[in-house]
A = this chain, B = another copy of it.
C-alpha cells in the first residue's frame, strides 16, 4: 500500500470527525474525548437506547455513516469486532480519509475468529488503499485542534514532539507525563496492531512534518524490519528520534504477543541497529521523556566532561557517582579555576574539587562559581543541583536567575537536577522551580540518575550525528 500524506494530513488535522459505535457503557469515551475538538463532530450509532445519551453531549447522531453530510477526515470506530468489516466498507464507500479502529479482539487474542477478522480488515483496506489506523489502539492526538486519545489529555497547546506508540496506554501516559515535565506534543498516534499503516509509515509522515522537531517512539515490533530501519535512518538524519522498544526480554516478548501480536527482536541486536541509524535508545517511559527533553532544550553536547555545583556533602558524592556510572566524566578543574576558588571559597562545609559543593555560605556566590565553571577548559557541560526543600526561596531564585543568565551567554550545555520528595507539597514547589528553569531554557530532571542518563544519551545523539556527517 502507498501511504498518501494528503490523507494523513486530513486525519491528523481533521475538520470533520465521526465516532462510530460510541455508547453509554463506555461512558461515550470517544465523543467525550473530542469535546474540545474545534471542527465538526458527528456520531454514528444504530442502537436507539444510545440516542439520548449522544444528544445530551450535543452531538448529532446518524444511523449510517453514509448519511453524514460533510466529507469525513477521521472516523473513530468503536464497534464490536464482528461489525468492524461492515463499518470499514462504509468508510471506504464514503471516502473517509482515514479510520482509527479502537475495536480490539483480533490477531492479538491468538483466536481463530480474531485472526480471521483481522485478515478481512487487511484485505479490504489493501484493495481500496484505505488508511486504517490500528486496530486495537487509541488513534490520533493533536492537541492544537483538540483531537484526543482520552478525555484526560490536554488541548490548546502545541509542542515540538511527535510520538508514535504501538501502545495506547503509553501514548496517553507519555502525553500527560511529558506535559507535566514541560514537554508538549505536536502530534501523536497509537497504532496497536498496525495492520495497514505501520510504524514506518507514521515515521515517514512525521519526518516531513515541519511542526515536529523530535520524534519519540514506543514500538513492540515493526511489521517490516528492513523498511523500518531504512525509514528510521532517513528520518534520524533530519530530526532526533528516540526509541523505546517494548519486549526487550523473553517475558516482555510473550506479553507483546498477547498485546499487539508483534514479533520480538533480541534487545542487543535491536539497540545496535537503532544506533546504527543515528537514533537513540530508551529503556522505559522516563527515559523517553527525559532524553527528548534534553535534546529539545540543550545546546549541542560536544563532550562528556561535566561540572556539577549546588549540592552539599553526601549529595555531591551521590551526583558524582551517578554521572560517572552513566559514563560521563566529572573531571578535576583547571589550575586557573582552583586558584580562583581558593581566593574566596570557604572549605568549611564545602569543597570545589568538582562537584563544587556549596552546602554552605558559598551558595551565595553561585554567579561567580558558574562563571568559573563556564570558563573552565576541562568542562564541556554544566549541571546545577537544586532541592525543593531549600529554606530560602530568595536564594533559590537568585541561583536560578544566575544559572539562566549564564546559560544565555554560553555555548556549553546547561542542565539542572531537582530531586523532590514523595509529598504533594514538595512536588508543587519542585514544579514551580522546574518551570522557571525550563522557561529559561534549562532542562531540569527529577533525579540524579535521570539527569545523568539524559545528558549521556544526548551526547551519544550528537556524536552519532557528527560521525554520520563525516562518513
User: Knowing A169-B315, A256-B317 touch, does A423 contact B104 (C-beta < 8 A)?
Assistant: no
Within 8 A of B (CB), among A427-451: 427-428, 431, 446-449
> A109 near B: Cβ within 8 Å?
yes
Write out the residue numbers on chain B whose beta carbons fall within 8 Å of the beta carbon of A422: 177, 180-181, 427, 431, 446
Within 8 A of B (CB), among A302-336: 312-325, 329-332
> A406 near B: Cβ within 8 Å?
no
**CB–CB B167/A314 < 8 A:** yes
> A284 near B: Cβ within 8 Å?
yes
> A152 near B: Cβ within 8 Å?
yes
**Residues of A near any B CB (own CB < 8 A):** 81, 104-105, 108-111, 114, 136, 152, 165-170, 176-177, 180-181, 218, 220, 246-252, 254-260, 283-286, 312-325, 329-332, 347-349, 351-355, 357, 359, 389, 421-425, 427-428, 431, 446-449
**CB–CB A389/B109 < 8 A:** no
* In the complex, residue of chain B having the shortest beta-carbon distance to the beta carbon of A104: B349
19 sampled A-B residue pairs with Cβ under 8 A: A81-B348, A108-B351, A109-B348, A111-B347, A167-B313, A169-B312, A169-B359, A176-B421, A177-B421, A247-B320, A248-B321, A251-B321, A255-B319, A256-B317, A258-B316, A259-B314, A285-B318, A423-B431, A424-B428
Which of B357, B389, B421 contacts A255 (CB under 8 A)? B357
User: Knowing A180-B421, A427-B423 touch, does A246 contact B317 (C-beta < 8 A)?
Assistant: yes
**CB–CB B320/A249 < 8 A:** yes
A140 to B24, CA, bound (A): 60
Which of B247, B258, B317, B424 contacts A424 (CB under 8 A)? B424
User: Knowing A317-B220, A318-B284, A359-B169 touch, does A251 contact B448 (C-beta < 8 A)?
Assistant: no
Write out the residue numbers on chain B whose beta carbons fall within 8 Å of the beta carbon of A169: 312-315, 359
A111 to B323, CA, bound (A): 28
* Chain A to chain B: the 8 pairs with minimum beta-carbon distance, closest first: A167-B314, A258-B351, A249-B324, A251-B330, A252-B321, A105-B348, A251-B320, A424-B424
**CB–CB B176/A329 < 8 A:** no
Write out the residue numbers on chain B whose beta carbons fall within 8 Å of the beta carbon of A421: 176-177, 180
Write out the residue numbers on chain B whose beta carbons fall within 8 Å of the beta carbon of A349: 104-105, 136
Write out the residue numbers on chain B whose beta carbons fall within 8 Å of the beta carbon of A389: 152
A355 to B284, CA, bound (A): 17
Shortest CB–CB separation between residue A222 and chain B, in angstroms?
15
A209 to B200, CA, bound (A): 62
A312 to B168, CA, bound (A): 10
Write out the residue numbers on chain B whose beta carbons fall within 8 Å of the beta carbon of A166: 314
Shortest CB–CB separation between residue A244 and chain B, in angstroms?
9
